Amino acid sequence: MDTSKFLDFLASGRAWTMRNRTKALAFGVIQDYMSSWLAGDRNSDRHYFTRRTLKVALYESIVGVTIGQVLSGLLAKLFEGSTSFEARVLQVVLGYIIIIPIENTCSQIAMALIDDTYESIKEVEIEIMPTLKPTLVMHLVCSLLAPGFEPDDWITLFDNAWLMLSIYNNGLIKRKRLAAFKSTAYQGRLWQRSNTV
């Protein structure tokens, strides 16, 4: 495997999805639909495909991709002209500890706002670490598996891994939000009952 070429691939950020906004749009639809199915999150018509699904897809295609491109571009400018092995490794590491957490944070805030209103942020504390840890592990595992694939297959490997991870993370967040909503609704009914007795 060409180590230099692979480091360039990793240093480019989430380039596998960012190269194609149409692909990001499709991934947004799939991940929201599947995570809703996993969490049992349906609309009033008992459907998993909702307006929220389209909003999530638009976010991934327009905002999410742009955030990734801007952050990766700034990091690339920081290392512009540095072609040594050490510089490439440092660029990859900085991408893991800076870009990925920022992308995760922006995504979670956006999902909370899309979900309902600002109330969804107040109801459920947005936790970064539960979704950040699996993301970093996914990158590490894919990086270890990549040498067994041809360079042309790296994008497919990371694409599929990222999609499955997004479904898992969003499913966890939706399940937590649903639990908080049900708990709040139950407490509200108890309060109304106590005031009518």
Position 12 scores a pLDDT of: 66
Distances (CA, A) of 186 to 45, 121, 191: 21, 19, 9
Contact 170, 194 (CB under 8 A): no
Position 15 scores a pLDDT of: 52
Q: What are phi and psi of 44, to 5 degrees?
A: -65, -20
CA nearest neighbour of 166 among 33, 61, 73, 50: 33
Contact 149, 157 (CB under 8 A): yes
Position 195 scores a pLDDT of: 41
Query: For the purposes of burial, counting CB atoms within 10 Å of the CB of 167, is it exposed (0-12), middle (13-18) or buried (19 or more)?
Result: buried
Position 186 scores a pLDDT of: 46
| Token representation of residue 134 | 């699996």
Quote the radius of gyration of the chain (alpha carbons, Å). 20
CA distance 42 to 38: 10
Per-residue pLDDT of the chain (197 residues; tens, 9 = 90+): 567 777 776 766 655 455 578 888 888 899 999 999 998 888 878 888 888 899 989 998 889 888 888 888 888 888 888 778 888 888 888 888 888 888 888 887 887 777 665 555 555 455 667 777 888 888 888 888 887 888 778 888 888 888 898 888 888 878 877 777 777 654 554 444 434 44
Measured on CA atoms in the order 164, 71, 152, 145, is the torsion positive or negative?
negative
